[in-house]
């Protein structure tokens, strides 16, 4: 019943947003609202788009992993075509110059980013970018590149989905101890596998979640499961080729670690290890970073600065305006359904409204703030949460 209710609510919201987008787009109100906001902020805005996987068949890939990470190649191309109607697509370095006032822009500018280093970014997204001659940046977890290791969230989502499909309760999977308590908490209220995953990632430290994933895979017989090649990481050769054609490489920790859930000393090690590995293999300085899960803190920002990074992106869905903090850059996270309109098909009007931030201006979408407390080591070896001054 809860699942049906949730689906109904999502359908109603999608219908409302789709209908509003049609009205705003074809009445000219979208352009008017954008002009008003540009005047209010005193300059050109910077839109940073965030993608994960670019796939051939959305429905097929949704059978094997998180659907909210996927966008079909044809939809991705449509996004870029619509984007170029209202924005100039630039590199992250050029975007930073627009924000700090050292470069003037004739129109709003946009940056195309990818998180996690999935292989199908190389096989499906990169050809589109090359054909359209557009720059971008891919933020990668360095220790996975060049391996067949899967990201922790993909492993956990598959295991949690199998628990739901097989009707296995959190206390029946046999992991015991701390992991069992975490699963009980994650599935509280009869939540879906997706919501359970979100709760785990936002509340529990990444190294412990990787151990939980290993336990679940063992208990559920998923150790040797075959996954689509596109869900595996890229190689260093792929990243070097992309870099040579304007798609830069940025840092995304070593093991895709949510840094604000780690003691700050561990966070610093993750940042340093990530930077060193990328620079060694891509043969260029790495200066840009993406926070896993979009979470950041004052301590994490200082760690990035000390390692020579000059920018970092969140997943806070808000505009970047002149004078913005380069270590708290906002991004719009997109997937296949982000541009699905009233009738369940691709909507150019909705896509354009997403890019112009029209729905946010009308309070039809709400940003999720990524600022978190810094987690400090205590002298005794423990840790405490303290309120950060950042964000």
Contacts 24+ apart (CB under 8 A), 373-378: 373/260, 373/297, 374/260, 374/264, 374/297, 374/298, 374/299, 374/300, 375/260, 375/261, 375/262, 375/263, 375/264, 375/267, 375/297, 375/299, 376/263, 376/264, 376/299, 377/263, 377/264, 377/265
Q: What is the Cα 96 distance to its own chain's centre? A: 20
Distance CA 71, CA 81 (A): 15
167 C-beta neighbours (distance < 10 Å), count: 7
Cβ proximity of 70 and 61 under 8 Å: yes
Q: What is the pLDDT of residue 361?
A: 56
Burial class (CB in 10 A: 0-12, 13-18, 19+), 15: middle
DSSP 320: B
User: How many Å separate Cα 268 from the centre of its chain?
Assistant: 21
- Per-residue pLDDT at 343: 78
**Parallel/antiparallel/unpaired status of strands 311-313 and 247-251:** unpaired
Per DSSP, 151 falls in state P
Pairing of strands 53-55, 46-51: unpaired
Residues in the chain, how many? 391
**pLDDT score at 368:** 77
- pLDDT confidence of residue 374: 85
DSSP secondary structure string for all residues of 224-245: T----GGGSBPPHHHHHHHHHT
Distance CA 156, CA 296 (A): 23
User: How many helices (H) does the chain have, and how many strands (E)?
Assistant: 16, 12
Nearest to 120 by CA among 250, 225, 234: 234
CA 101 to chain CA mean position, Å: 27
| pLDDT score at 383 | 33
257: phi then psi, degrees, rounded to nearest 5: -100, 130
**How far from 263 is each of 85, 123, 373, 382, CA to CA, in Å?**
45, 37, 11, 9
Cβ pair 324, 48 in contact under 8 A: no
How confident is the prediction along the chain (391 residues), in pLDDT tens digits per residue?
444 445 544 555 665 665 666 666 557 666 656 665 666 556 788 999 999 999 999 999 999 999 999 999 999 999 999 999 999 999 999 999 999 999 999 999 999 999 999 999 999 999 999 999 999 999 999 999 999 999 999 999 999 999 999 999 999 999 999 999 999 999 999 999 999 999 999 999 999 999 999 999 999 999 988 889 999 999 999 999 999 999 999 999 999 999 999 999 999 999 999 999 999 999 999 999 999 999 999 999 999 999 999 999 999 988 899 999 999 999 999 999 999 887 788 999 888 888 887 766 555 566 778 888 887 754 333 333 322 222 3
pLDDT in the model for residue 237? 98
pLDDT at residue 136 in the model:
98
**Nearest partner of 156 among 233, 224, 234, 211, judged by Cα:** 211
């Amino acid at each position: 019943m809860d699942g049906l209710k949730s689906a109904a609510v999502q359908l109603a919201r999608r219908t409302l947003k789709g209908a509003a987008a049609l009205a705003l787009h074809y009445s000219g109100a979208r352009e008017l609202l954008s002009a008003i906001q540009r005047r209010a902020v005193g300059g050109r805005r910077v839109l940073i788009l965030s993608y994960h996987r670019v796939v051939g068949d959305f429905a097929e890939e949704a059978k094997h992993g998180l659907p909210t990470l996927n966008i079909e190649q044809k939809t991705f191309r449509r996004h870029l075509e619509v984007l170029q109607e209202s924005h100039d697509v630039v590199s992250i370095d050029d975007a930073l110059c627009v924000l700090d006032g050292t470069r003037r822009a004739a129109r709003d500018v946009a940056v195309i980013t990818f998180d996690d280093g999935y292989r199908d970014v190389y096989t499906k997204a990169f050809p589109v970018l090359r054909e359209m001659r557009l720059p971008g940046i891919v933020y990668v977890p360095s220790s996975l590149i060049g391996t067949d290791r899967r990201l922790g969230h993909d492993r956990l989502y598959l295991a949690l989905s199998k628990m739901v499909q097989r009707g296995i309760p959190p206390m029946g999977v046999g992991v015991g101890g701390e992991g069992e308590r975490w699963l009980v908490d994650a599935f509280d209220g009869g939540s879906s596998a997706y919501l359970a995953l979100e709760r785990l990632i936002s509340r529990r430290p990444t190294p412990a979640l990787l151990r939980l994933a290993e336990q679940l895979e063992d208990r559920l017989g998923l150790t040797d499961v075959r996954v689509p090649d596109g869900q595996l990481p890229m190689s260093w050769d792929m990243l070097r080729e992309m870099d040579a054609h304007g798609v830069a490489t940025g840092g995304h920790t070593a093991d895709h670690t949510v840094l604000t859930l780690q003691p700050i000393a561990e966070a610093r090690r993750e940042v340093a290890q990530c930077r060193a590995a990328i620079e060694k293999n891509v043969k260029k300085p790495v200066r840009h970073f993406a926070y896993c899960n979009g979470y950041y803190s004052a301590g994490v920002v200082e760690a990035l600065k000390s390692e020579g990074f000059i920018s970092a992106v969140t997943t806070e869905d808000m505009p970047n305006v002149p004078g913005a903090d380069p270590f708290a850059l906002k991004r719009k996270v997109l997937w296949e359904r982000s541009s699905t309109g009233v009738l369940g098909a691709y909507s150019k009007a909705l896509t354009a409204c997403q890019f112009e931030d029209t729905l946010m201006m009308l309070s039809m979408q709400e940003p999720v703030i990524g600022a978190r407390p810094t987690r400090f080591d205590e002298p005794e070896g423990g840790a405490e949460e303290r309120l950060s001054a950042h964000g």
